[in-house]
A and B are shown apart, each in its own frame.
Chain A
Amino acid sequence: MRYWKPIFVGAIVMAGLSAWTMVDDPVPTGPYPLHYPASFGSRFTIPADNPTTQEGVYLGRLLFYEPRLSATQTISCASCHQQARAFTDGLALSIGVHGKTTRRNSMSLTNLLWVRQLFWDGRSSSLEEQALIPLGHTDEMGSKPGEAAHFLQKTKPYPALFKQVFGSDTITDVRIGQALAQFERTLISADSRYDHFLAGHYQLTESEQRGMQLFNQSPSPDRNVRGGNCAHCHGGAKLYQELFHNNGLDKQATDSGRQAITGLALDQGRFRVPTLRNIALTAPYMHDGRFNNLDQVLEHYSEHIQPSPMLAPELAGQPNGFHLTRSEKTDLISFLQLFTDSTFVHNPQFANPHLK
């Protein structure tokens, strides 16, 4: 018994220390180079007043994993965006500080550098601005404006780090958003087996090959071509096209989606097409997390597409879906699994820095 006490106390002190955040000495500084394949293209804008720097990314990562940003000091961005799940949380709807669920399914934070219209409905146009939304939302982190900044101001080592990044040790919500945005821009996934295949370093199995054809081809019954037309919306090297569509989940959508932003009747029940990067890791699926696995997703595209005036024309060609056979579904799933990037989900640069 005597033995245990000091060890126990020691453990508490250690836990306390690690919660108090240890910072590298010195903190890395200088420009942060963003590496990505040329095929991803450079159609992105980094705000001139928030260039990506090593010290900024360093701070942003600490903040991303910082529960003390939330009203209850219990929830960080990483609670709903976990690296092992490609920055999703495994829940249909996420749970915020007050135990209530969010309106929609958590989104994978991957290749955000290229995303121009953030969220399922595209309502936010910059990562800087976006970060302040979960920070303040009562069903997410629930901090009142300035509250988290005020708290961090009194918390070592943050004032010194903000000084290093922004030239001033005054912590503001805007600067918190800027640092978070810098970290998020570095979350680049480009090392899946599919990327290796595109670079000529991986040979597809026969099933993956057939799956890729179904993914890329538009079906044409008269020419006997089978296909799921997936690439029209989910294709390209990034496996992402910035489009808003209704993929036939419901005849009458209960969540108006894009329409609430644009006011256009034709936008009723349209949502942003999500990336398929790491799709095998990001269940449950769709804006409301209604499907638990990829089998259910393919079941939807195969048999259950609901007609409505808003349904995307690419999905409206055949009644209720593409009517894929069981082996076609197996092939498609084996192709979708190629999108898993284990380097990305294990990259130590993206991991929780408070646990070092």
Chain B
Amino acid sequence: MRNINAQLAGYWQASVVIVFLLTGLTSQAQTVLTVSGEVTKPLTLQAADLTAMAHTQVTGKDRDGKEHQYAGILLVDLLKQAGATVGGELRGENLTKYVLVKSIDGYEVLFALPELDPDFASRSIILADSVDGAPLGSGVGPYRIVVPGEKKPARWIREVKSIEVRFAK
């Protein structure tokens, strides 16, 4: 009995290890976005994770001067999921936190944390994954920040690959 149990436990362990390895490998191969820094639950997300999250529509004027419909995830939702200090916790020293968004090409832009929090800001900044109903094109997607109402789209950073929350030091 002990033997069988031990064997079962062994199988079980082995299969857990295998499943773990498999998911580990695939998630590594497909990581499309990380959320890290001053957060309680750093995120390593795959495309499917982002597709499954609630999407919001915004309109914004791109460099071409034309209004477009963008759909994507509210940045604040990603921050909440990672356990950043938004909502009720966004006070005191947490008001000196900022979010650094980085793209594949090394471009970086910064938002103060309150700019992203609906308790402070009236506009919804999103991580867009589509424009006018189509996926974002090459050199722009798969993910791009859209800041509705901002006069110059320089913070509409393309090819987003990571979001980091930091303290101003």
- The reply to whether A309 and B138 form a contact with Cβ atoms under 8 Å apart is yes
In the complex, B22 has a CB within 8 A of chain A = no
- The reply to whether A266 and B104 form a contact with Cβ atoms under 8 Å apart is yes
Measured CA separation A321–B139 after assembly (Å): 17
- The reply to whether A244 and B138 form a contact with Cβ atoms under 8 Å apart is no
Measured CA separation A309–B139 after assembly (Å): 8
Residues on A with beta carbons closer than 8 Å to the beta carbon of B107: 243
Measured CA separation A267–B104 after assembly (Å): 7
8 Å CB contact of A242 from B106, B138, B140, B161: B106
- Tell me the number of A-to-B contacts counted with CB atoms below 8 Å: 27
Residues on A with beta carbons closer than 8 Å to the beta carbon of B139: 311-313, 316
Which residues of chain B in 45-96 are interfacial with respect to chain A, using CB atoms and an 8 Å cutoff? none
In the complex, B129 has a CB within 8 A of chain A = no
Measured CA separation A316–B139 after assembly (Å): 10
In the complex, B117 has a CB within 8 A of chain A = no
Residues on A with beta carbons closer than 8 Å to the beta carbon of B140: 313
Binary contact track A254-296/B, C-beta < 8 Å → 1, others 0: 0000000010101100101000000000000000000000000
- The reply to whether A244 and B159 form a contact with Cβ atoms under 8 Å apart is no
The interface size bin for chain A is 10 to 19
Measured CA separation A272–B138 after assembly (Å): 19
Measured CA separation A316–B104 after assembly (Å): 17
Residues on B with beta carbons closer than 8 Å to the beta carbon of A264: 104, 161
Measured CA separation A312–B105 after assembly (Å): 9
Measured CA separation A312–B138 after assembly (Å): 9
With A309-B138, A316-B139 already in contact, the answer to whether A266 and B106 are too (CB < 8 A) is no
Which residues of chain B in 115-169 are interfacial with respect to chain A, using CB atoms and an 8 Å cutoff? 138-140, 158-159, 161
Measured CA separation A260–B138 after assembly (Å): 20
Measured CA separation A262–B32 after assembly (Å): 12
Residues on A with beta carbons closer than 8 Å to the beta carbon of B104: 244, 262, 264, 266-267
Q: Separation in Å of the B64 CB from the closest CB of chain A?
A: 10
Measured CA separation A313–B140 after assembly (Å): 8
Measured CA separation A133–B42 after assembly (Å): 33
In the complex, A61 has a CB within 8 A of chain B = no
Q: Separation in Å of the A105 CB from the closest CB of chain B?
A: 20
Residue of B nearest to A314 (CB): B139
Residue of B nearest to A242 (CB): B106
Measured CA separation A243–B139 after assembly (Å): 14
Q: Separation in Å of the B83 CB from the closest CB of chain A?
A: 26
Binary contact track A223-247/B, C-beta < 8 Å → 1, others 0: 0000000000000000000111100
Residue of B nearest to A313 (CB): B139
Residues on A with beta carbons closer than 8 Å to the beta carbon of B105: 243-245, 270, 312
Q: Separation in Å of the B81 CB from the closest CB of chain A?
A: 23
Binary contact track A159-192/B, C-beta < 8 Å → 1, others 0: 0000000000000000000000000000000000
Q: Separation in Å of the B77 CB from the closest CB of chain A?
A: 25
Measured CA separation A245–B139 after assembly (Å): 10
Residue of A nearest to B28 (CB): A263
Measured CA separation A11–B90 after assembly (Å): 75
Q: Separation in Å of the A5 CB from the closest CB of chain B?
A: 63
Which residues of chain A in 302-356 are interfacial with respect to chain B, using CB atoms and an 8 Å cutoff? 309-313, 316
Contacts A/B (CB < 8 Å), 24 sampled: A117-B106, A242-B106, A243-B105, A243-B106, A243-B107, A244-B106, A245-B105, A262-B104, A264-B104, A264-B161, A266-B104, A266-B159, A267-B104, A270-B105, A272-B106, A309-B138, A310-B138, A311-B139, A312-B105, A312-B139, A313-B139, A313-B140, A313-B158, A316-B139
Chain B interface residues toward A at CB < 8 A? 104-107, 138-140, 158-159, 161
> Top 9 closest A-B pairs, CB basis?
A313-B139, A243-B106, A309-B138, A243-B105, A244-B106, A244-B105, A242-B106, A266-B104, A245-B105
Q: Beyond A117-B106, A262-B104, A313-B139: 10 further Cβ-contacts under 8 Å?
A: A242-B106, A243-B106, A243-B107, A244-B105, A244-B106, A264-B104, A266-B104, A267-B104, A272-B106, A310-B138
